[in-house]
């Protein structure tokens, strides 16, 4: 098979030799070092195959033996190129095809992720791998899997183990997260329970520690609720990790503001779209000129090509620019109040998640063309937090 491939590359011809002394013709070519193959006897001579260059060397032997030579077929790359020598575009396309195949067979096409973590997404792992030198378009010949693995570990201290599996144009990066640190012993982790905010205590559930308050007491933020040092008559002072829940009635205030007069940024209605080609981690703009300057909103999407469910390292990034301008606006008092109230309600929803909300009240007032909405929410919530005791 390898010999046939070599002969196709250098080119060979099939010929017929007609004459009365074919044996003598064969003997002369053999003594001259001319190689023939697939030699067959015919009714009036022989037929055989020989390299394109070797065929010219047959003429002296043919003249001596009175043999008439005739080429019946030409095969191989030189004859194909000669046939299409006037079609430069076709030859350039064939050459480009083989160049692309050679290039693509030696680079990374895709980076798959096997993610055994809870704090990292697959895209974040791909970005870490990219920073470590594992990315589409990277030469496989220059990739050292062991070095890449160590770089990934150095770039992310949350990982306990990583691997870079090579062997094809499709690289697999495997990562595993560190196990949680073991809980410190009670003596190493002595804590007090303190109040996170002001409130009136309505329920106590201290699991460990010396309780310092009782139901009905009013506490301020930072007050001690349960201590981690317990005095006993038999063993003296005992150090514990105070823990538990202390439920209190709290009052939370959230403030929203809205200006009645000012300027706001609005879109002009124009749009400008720009595309860029992503090819093996390289970026090629598909537009002329520069992107818009000034104030703009942008929306960006990146669509990769896929083949049988596998993402290829080729994609198109589309960025849409929406030019904006500053325009004056005026709000009525009721419109500004609605806007300020929405702000205050959004803050309350964000910060009071998981609490039992009670009475709500709102107060509105105006300062320097600004409407202020003050939302007060009474809650029942756990105000206890643990604070480590430091010993000198």
For the chain, the 3-state helix, strand and coil shares in percent, each to the nearest 5, are 25, 45, 30
Tokens at 264, concatenated: 């706001």
pTM here is 0.49
Query: How far is Cα of residue 182 from the mean position of the Cα atoms in its chain?
Result: 32
List, as one string, the DSSP characters of 141-195. TT--HHHHHHHHHHH-TTEEEEEEE-SSSEEEEEEEEPPPPPPPPTTTT-EEEEE
Closest CA to 281 of 133, 382, 142: 133
> Which three-class secondary structure state does DSSP give residue 128?
helix
308-314: list long-range contacts, CB under 8 Å, 24+ apart.
310/110, 310/170, 311/110, 312/109, 312/110, 313/108, 313/109, 313/110, 313/136, 313/137, 313/278, 313/279, 313/280, 313/281, 314/277, 314/278, 314/279, 314/280
How far is the C-alpha of 217 from the C-alpha of 206, rounded, in Å?
A: 15
How far is the C-alpha of 342 from the C-alpha of 334, rounded, in Å?
A: 12
pLDDT value, residue 187 = 46
Residue holding tokens 């575009």?
A: 89
Contact between 96 and 89 under an 8 Å Cβ cutoff? The reply is no
CATH topology of domain 110-177: Ubiquitin-like (UB roll) (3.10.20)
How far is the C-alpha of 32 from the C-alpha of 55, rounded, in Å?
A: 13
In order along its 392 residues, the chain shows pLDDT tens digits of: 677 778 888 889 998 888 888 888 888 888 888 888 888 888 888 889 998 888 888 888 888 888 888 888 888 878 777 776 666 676 677 677 777 666 667 788 888 899 988 888 998 999 999 999 998 888 888 888 899 999 999 998 889 899 999 877 888 999 998 876 655 444 458 899 999 999 999 999 999 888 999 999 999 999 999 998 887 777 677 888 888 999 999 999 999 999 999 998 999 999 999 999 988 778 899 988 888 888 899 999 988 888 777 777 888 999 999 999 999 999 999 999 999 999 999 998 888 877 787 788 999 999 988 999 999 999 999 999 999 887 75
* Domain spans, the chain: 2-81, 110-177, 271-320
CATH topology of domain 2-81: Alpha-Beta Plaits (3.30.70)
Query: How far is Cα of residue 87 from the mean position of the Cα atoms in its chain?
Result: 43
List, as one string, the DSSP characters of 77-118. HHHHHHHTTT-HHHHHHHHHHHHHHHHHTTB--EEEEEEE-S
Say if strands 110-116 and 170-177 run parallel, antiparallel, or are unpaired. Answer: parallel
What one-character DSSP code corresponds to residue 263?
E
What one-character DSSP code corresponds to residue 392?
-
């Amino acid at each position: 098979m390898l010999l046939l491939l070599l002969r196709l590359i250098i080119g060979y011809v099939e010929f017929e030799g007609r004459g009365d002394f074919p044996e003598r013709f064969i003997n002369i070519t053999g003594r001259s070092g001319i190689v023939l193959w697939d030699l067959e006897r015919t009714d009036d001579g022989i037929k055989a195959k020989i390299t394109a260059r070797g065929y010219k060397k047959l003429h002296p032997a043919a003249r001596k033996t009175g043999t008439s030579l005739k080429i019946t077929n030409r095969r191989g790359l030189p004859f194909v190129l000669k046939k299409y020598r006037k079609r430069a575009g076709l030859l350039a396309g064939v050459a480009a095809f083989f160049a692309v195949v050679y290039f693509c067979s030696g680079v990374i096409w895709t980076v798959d992720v096997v993610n055994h973590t809870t704090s990292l997404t697959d895209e974040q792992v791909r970005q870490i791998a990219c920073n470590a030198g594992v990315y589409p378009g990277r030469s496989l010949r220059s990739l050292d899997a062991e070095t890449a693995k160590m770089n990934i570990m150095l770039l992310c201290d949350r990982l306990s183990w990583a691997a870079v599996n090579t062997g094809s144009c499709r690289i697999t990066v495997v990562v595993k997260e560190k196990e949680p640190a073991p809980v410190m012993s009670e003596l190493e982790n002595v804590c007090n329970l303190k109040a996170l905010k002001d409130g009136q205590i309505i329920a106590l559930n201290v699991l460990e520690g010396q309780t310092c308050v009782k139901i009905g007491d009013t506490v301020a933020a930072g007050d001690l609720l349960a201590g981690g040092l317990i005095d006993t008559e038999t063993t003296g002072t005992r150090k514990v990790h105070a823990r538990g829940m202390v439920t209190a009635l709290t009052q939370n205030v959230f403030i929203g503001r809205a200006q009645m007069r000012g300027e706001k940024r609005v879109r002009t209605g124009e749009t400008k779209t720009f595309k860029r080609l992503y090819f093996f981690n390289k970026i090629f703009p598909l537009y002329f000129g520069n992107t818009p300057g000034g104030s703009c909103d942008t929306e960006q999407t990146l669509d990769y090509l896929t083949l049988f469910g596998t993402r290829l390292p080729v994609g198109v990034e589309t960025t849409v620019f929406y030019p904006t301008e500053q325009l004056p606006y005026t709000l009525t008092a009721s419109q500004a109040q609605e806007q300020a109230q929405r702000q205050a309600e959004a803050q309350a929803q964000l910060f009071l998640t998981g609490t039992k909300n009670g009475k709500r009240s709102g107060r509105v007032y105006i300062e320097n063309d600004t409407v202020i909405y003050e939302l007060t929410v009474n809650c029942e919530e756990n105000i206890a937090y643990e604070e480590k005791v430091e010993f000198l």
